[in-house]
Chain A
Amino acid sequence: MDALSSGCTVKMGEGQNPLEAMADSTFSASDVLSDLPNDLLGEPPSAVFGDPLSNISKQESTSNPAKQSSKLPSDVPCDIFDPLHGTGMEPKDDGKNASLIDIVINPVTSAKDNLPVDDLLSQPEIDIPAKTKTEQPAELRSEERPKDEPLSVASSKPKKDLFEDSPEDLFSELPKTKAKTKPQMDLFGDSSPDLFMDAKAAADTGPGRNAPADLFSEESVATTTSKSAKSNISANSIVTANSKANGVHSDEEEQDIFAEATVELSLDSPHNNRKTLDTTKPSEPASSLSAAAGSSKAQAKTLEELEEEESEDKFELNISITNPEKVGDGMNAYMAYKVSTQTTLPMFRSKTFTVRRRFSDFLGLYEKLSEKHSQNGYIVPPPPEKSLLGMTKVKVGKDDPSSGEFVERRRASLERYLQRVVCHPSLLQDPDVREFLEREELPRAVNTQALSGAGFLKMINKATDAVSKMTIKMNESDVWFEEKLQEVESEDQQLRKLHAVVDSLVSHRKELSVNTAVFAKSVAMLGSSEDNTALSRALSQLAELEDKIEQLHQEQAGNDFFVFTELLADYIRLLGAVRGSFDQRMKSWQRWQDAQTTLQKKREAEAKLLWANKPDKLQQAKDEIAEWEGKVTQYEREFERVSATVRKEVIRFEKEKARDFKKQIIKYLESLLQSQQQLIKYWEAFLPEAKAIA
């Protein structure tokens, strides 16, 4: 155990300085969180907890992303928290409930003593563990601490080599990043599976580690790993781990959630964080924190459909768009849609509410979101394109079926758009989203013209061009990004092709439906001329049958379109946004490189000055160098932050995509199935008629 703890200490100790440096120089606001690992790690664990297990729990908390999962039986937590209790901070029971949040939040607050955050998170009854450093008052704890979080978290700990291996491999993978900053990025920026994957890929030597077949199995791998890790640590914990087996999943989820929650705050743009901090109302950040936890829980849920969900207090946010309504007349007319939200999220004022929004409001929302978030590497879901033609038809035409179809199509795609936005844990936190959903009157969005149809495409194309241009310049340091970008690009091509083909399927099926209707009429006429009564009857039955089949074809064409084509169209747009996020990463890289170049120049200038012996200007040059050094570090960190975000976003995107596609594919096949079943019914009803011809 000594070896373990010392190993960890060393490791963490190494990480400390750069981390601190980074936190200080880069974000004033997000410091709060980025500091967390430092302090936590800086502490010699043994000092904090005499008990090795508690060490472990500590490690665990810092290595949260590694997603340890097995739940400990209550006796273990006792062990773990004994030291805590020893410090007199906490009753046992509370300890159990709060352990998770402790781990995640405490370090934050403790790190941050001088920031208002403390208040935000303050939670009187619970205490910060007795850290040597902690000046934190007990109030630091968040009141929102989840009532039923099992202590589980604390229990599983990467065993020493797991811990060592994974971060190290991560480091080696990213040559450019300083070893220290990277772990931090990953710890917070990445969802745990990711970290784990890396670790896995690199360090297969870890005991109990098998290559997981897929994302879901990773969890279990994590579990086993931690189990075996534990078993190495103490016999005691082996028992606990084993006895624990079925708690595993739910725990995992909770852990996940909290990992995410942490991520949320730390990755939010500085701007946002500051905002949160500025408000300093204790309740709000707390609630948003829990909301974040909630939303990430939802995310975890969707991503792990196969996992059994035992989380109580399910997060819910259902958005539907209904009742498209034409407002006004003539060319100034527009369609207004009813946006209804149903939610159990505390961040909203009520559980259900409805607002009316028009199309440009949706575009306005996108603009706001994209302005704020895309530069950080977030994939902001794009809204449907403006369609001058379609809208003009709606404005002019009264009850043209094609304009009805247009409106329905738009309604559906706006709905999907909004759902995608709120599905995104970070975007959901955006005040503009809340405002969009809640506020009665929204200031009229202006300047949405730029996004209209062609303009939007142009924008995407421009982004693409820029990306490809930059790719040439950028000597990609990370194969992952290079490969992903290629994947995205070729997928984009393929989806476009598929879209075209499915489009022609839709039109061919519509043609078939029309032709069937015409044939039905013709057969009805033929039947009326037929002088054999039975045959005449059969022919008119056939005509009726063909009429029904025509309906089927028409419905199926609708399904082809709404279920299949629109899915593809959405994903073509989304891939554009994904490319956009890669583009942002490139830009950030570019800025860093530029800063480096400038710094280089400044240094050369300094050297020249030295040589020329001009001490008066030397000081100024030195200042400039210092300034640019700061900038380089800052930009580099920003680049890394953006990279981490992009990576996380892309993974999230892919999971969403897989889920979406699966759902839609099944839906589509079911629609085909249904129409085939109808077909059987129709023909079976016809068969006796045909046989009755005499």
Chain B
Amino acid sequence: MPTISQEYKTALRSVSVDLNNDVSLLIDIPDALCERDKVKFTVHTKTTLSVFQKPEFSVPRQHEDFIWLHDTLVETEEYAGLIIPPAPPKPDFESPREKMHKLGEGEATMTKEEYTKMKQELEAEYLAVFKKTVQVHEVFLQRLSSHPVLSKDRNFQIFLEYDQDLSVRRKMPRRCLVVSSRTWLKSADEVLISGVKEVDDFFEQEKTFLLDYSTKIKDSTTKAERMTRAHKNVADDYIHVAAILNSISAEENTALKKHLDKFSDMFEKLRKVEGRVASDQELKLTELLRYYTRDIQAAKDLLYRRARALDKARLKSKDVAQAEDNQRQCMQKFEKLSESGKKELTSFKGRRVVAFRKNLVEMAELEIKHAKNSVSLLQGCIETLKNC
């Protein structure tokens, strides 16, 4: 499925359009292997930087390694004022697997051809999910590599270069706990940032905007997911309709046979188009929304860290004059953080607008292309039907 992978690539690249074309550090994931729930990614790096021992190398990494990298970045104090690129979501093959299972159960009720087609659809879907997973991980690394500060991170470099298994995976059970406490903390934090009085207008605005935007985009994402799924269902129904029409026409021997043949054929063609419409919507729209849901969460995290720093600074200042030095340091830290945060947030906004523009334009173009395709198919079919 080279076409699909191509599309996913462009789609996801477009999500993070601000990736600069700095050739000093190029990262991609040329290969990945799926073993049950584990996906093994091969992370390939090409670099001219002297920090690295070799100009080109590959290491095996798993999803958990990416999470570890993300978490360490988040926990690094110097980066508090940066938007840490959102961690890639956990690979999820449940939905296509479940569907495959269901399909197997329903095999008896379908014609062979129908079953084969459904299976192909599911395999394509599975493959798409797989490729998307790879791409999301790749994008995460690429965003890091193109970030002026984060690309210099030591842990990041280790992640790229260390050719053994990172030991982080052993900590995984504990990480689950951490995650849950973190999420709990986060929701508490949200209360915090929404409750703290903001002195800086910029951040005040950003805060309200992000909070609002985040809920809205989350909502839109789920709705878009549902919509694309429904569209996919319609496309799948076309398969069944085409198959049954086909078997009916096989038994017909009147003039109707030709018509049914054509009709079945039409459904078969339309289902491909509809399938593409559904998957393009998924790529251009749903995936975009999904990515920015996560990205906005990252931006919110930045605000949260800033709020905490501010809190700390204020706390310290209450703590009497004896720690004035300390307080000044904190204040400085906070100001630095605010400054870089401002920059980050502004660039985030620009990045988001550009990404939306690109994706919406592409989606509109694809929709037009598909609809035109359907129109010409339908016109041709109607023409032949009328003439026979």
Could you list which residues of chain A lie within 8 angstroms of chain B, going by C-beta atoms?
Answer: 214-215, 487, 490-491, 494-495, 497-498, 501-502, 504-505, 508-509, 511-512, 515-516, 518-519, 521-523, 525-526, 529-532, 534-535, 538-539, 542, 654-655, 657-658, 661-662, 665-666, 669-670, 672-673, 676-677, 679-680, 683-684, 686-687, 690-691, 693-694
Contacts and interface: CB of A to CB of B under 8 A. Distances in A.
B385 interface: yes
Q: Identify whether the interface residues of B are mostly helix, strand, loop, or mixed.
A: helix
Contacts of B260: 661, 665
B248 A491 contact: yes
Interface of B: 209, 212-213, 216-217, 219-220, 223-224, 226-227, 229-231, 233-234, 237-238, 240-241, 244-245, 247-248, 251, 254-256, 259-260, 262-263, 266, 270, 349, 352-353, 356-357, 360-361, 363-365, 367-368, 371-372, 374-375, 378-379, 381-382, 385-386
A522 B371 contact: no
A684 B374 CA distance: 15
B360 to A, nearest CB: 4
A694 B361 CA distance: 12
A515 B245 CA distance: 28
Q: Identify whether the interface residues of A are mostly helix, strand, loop, or mixed.
A: helix
B62 to A, nearest CB: 34
Given A654-B254, A658-B255, A683-B368, A504 B237 contact: yes
Contacts of B356: 535, 538-539, 693
A122 B371 CA distance: 65
A518 B220 CA distance: 9
A684 B368 contact: yes
B241 A214 contact: no
A487 B233 CA distance: 32
B349 A532 contact: yes
Contacts of A502: 237, 241
Given A508-B230, A662-B385, A687-B361, A526 B378 contact: no
Contacts of A534: 353
Contact of A665 (B224, B233, B357, B385): B385
A515 B229 CA distance: 9
A519 B220 contact: yes
B244 A498 contact: yes
B151 to A, nearest CB: 28
Nearest to B386: A666
B233 A498 contact: no
Given A498-B245, A515-B226, A538-B357, 8 more contacts: A502-B241, A515-B223, A522-B219, A658-B256, A673-B375, A676-B375, A679-B367, A687-B364
Contacts of B375: 673, 676-677, 680
A526 B213 contact: yes
Contacts of B385: 662, 665-666, 669
27 contacts: A215-B254, A490-B251, A491-B251, A494-B247, A501-B237, A501-B240, A505-B241, A515-B226, A515-B227, A516-B227, A523-B223, A526-B213, A529-B216, A534-B353, A655-B254, A658-B256, A661-B256, A662-B256, A662-B385, A669-B385, A672-B374, A680-B368, A683-B367, A687-B364, A687-B368, A690-B361, A690-B364
B241 A529 contact: no
A300 B259 CA distance: 21
A243 B3 CA distance: 64
Contacts, number: 167
Contact of A535 (B234, B266, B353, B374): B353
A214 B234 contact: no
Nearest to B381: A669
B385 to A, nearest CB: 5
A518 B259 contact: no
A533 to B, nearest CB: 10
Contacts of A661: 256, 259-260
Nearest to A672: B378
Contact of B379 (A519, A657, A673): A673
B263 A658 contact: no
Contacts of A529: 209, 212-213, 216
A257 to B, nearest CB: 22
A168 to B, nearest CB: 26
Contacts of A694: 353, 357
Nearest to B263: A665
Nearest to B277: A679
B382 A666 contact: yes
Nearest to B360: A690
A673 B378 CA distance: 6
A673 B382 contact: yes
A519 B360 contact: no
Contacts of A518: 223, 226-227
A498 B255 contact: no
A529 B211 CA distance: 10
A512 B234 CA distance: 8
B230 A498 contact: no
A495 B260 CA distance: 12
A516 B230 CA distance: 9
Contacts of B365: 687
Contacts of B224: 519, 522
B377 to A, nearest CB: 9
B186 to A, nearest CB: 21
Contacts of A658: 254-256, 259
A166 B224 CA distance: 68
A70 to B, nearest CB: 25
Contacts of A491: 248, 251
B360 A693 contact: yes
Nearest to A680: B371
A109 B212 CA distance: 92
B231 A512 contact: yes
Q: Which 8 A-B pairs have the closest CB atoms?
A: A512-B230, A693-B357, A505-B237, A690-B360, A658-B256, A519-B223, A673-B378, A515-B227
A669 B382 contact: yes
Contacts of B245: 498
Contacts of B244: 494, 497-498, 501
Contact of A679 (B233, B234, B254, B371): B371
A503 to B, nearest CB: 10
Contacts of A494: 244, 247-248, 251
A672 B259 CA distance: 17
Contacts of A672: 270, 374, 378
A683 B371 contact: yes
B241 A669 contact: no
A535 B216 contact: no
A215 B254 CA distance: 9
A535 B357 contact: yes
Contacts of B386: 666
Nearest to A538: B360
Contacts of A490: 251
A501 B238 CA distance: 9
A539 B359 CA distance: 12
Nearest to A499: B244
A518 B227 CA distance: 9
Nearest to A513: B230
B234 A505 contact: yes
A317 B244 CA distance: 35
Nearest to A534: B353
B32 to A, nearest CB: 31
A526 B382 contact: no
Contact of A508 (B226, B237, B349, B378): B237
A563 to B, nearest CB: 12
Candidate in B216, B224, B364 with the most chain A CB atoms within 10 angstroms: B364
Contacts of A512: 227, 230-231, 233-234
Given A504-B237, A542-B360, A661-B260, A215 B209 contact: no
Nearest to A214: B255
A508 B233 contact: yes
A662 B256 CA distance: 7
Candidate in A487, A535, A669, A680 with the most chain B CB atoms within 10 angstroms: A669
A526 B266 CA distance: 38
B259 to A, nearest CB: 5
